[in-house]
Amino acid sequence: MREVKLSTKNQIVIGREVRKALGFKSGDRLLLVPRGNMVILVRKPKQYARKLGLLDGKFQIPDDFNAPLPDSVIRAFEGPEAVRLLVDTHLLL
């Protein structure tokens, strides 16, 4: 797990190791998903707006959607398996 610092311009640098593991390239569009006291970073699908439109009215967002994550999930992002978990998740996208 790498530590990053928020710059005075509110920017962060995603280190080479993480970019390579997740296949991020310069110019890629990414989504930041806030979850409790964490942020999940994912690549924005090319057909993002269209995909959301297809789902209109087909699901309901639960009331606890923005609730803090369980400790077991938070630990998964803090332990040695965190990078592997992120890579495995990336491969499923």
User: pLDDT tens digits for 27-80?
Assistant: 888 888 888 888 888 888 776 555 555 556 666 777 887 888 787 777 776 765
* pLDDT (0 to 100) of residue 10: 93
* pLDDT (0 to 100) of residue 83: 55
Could you please report the per-residue DSSP string of the chain? Answer: -------TTS-----HHHHHHHT--TT--EEEEEETTEEEEEEPPTTHHHHHHHTTTT----TTTTSPPPHHHHHHHHSTTHHHHHHHHHHH-
Query: Is 10 within the bounds of a domain?
Result: no
* pLDDT (0 to 100) of residue 29: 87
pLDDT at 93 > cutoff 50: no
* pLDDT (0 to 100) of residue 11: 92
Number of domains making up the chain: 1
pTM (predicted TM-score): 0.46
Task: Tell me which residue range forms the domain holding 48.
Answer: 16-57+64-92
Query: Is 85 within the bounds of a domain?
Result: yes
Query: Is 2 within the bounds of a domain?
Result: no
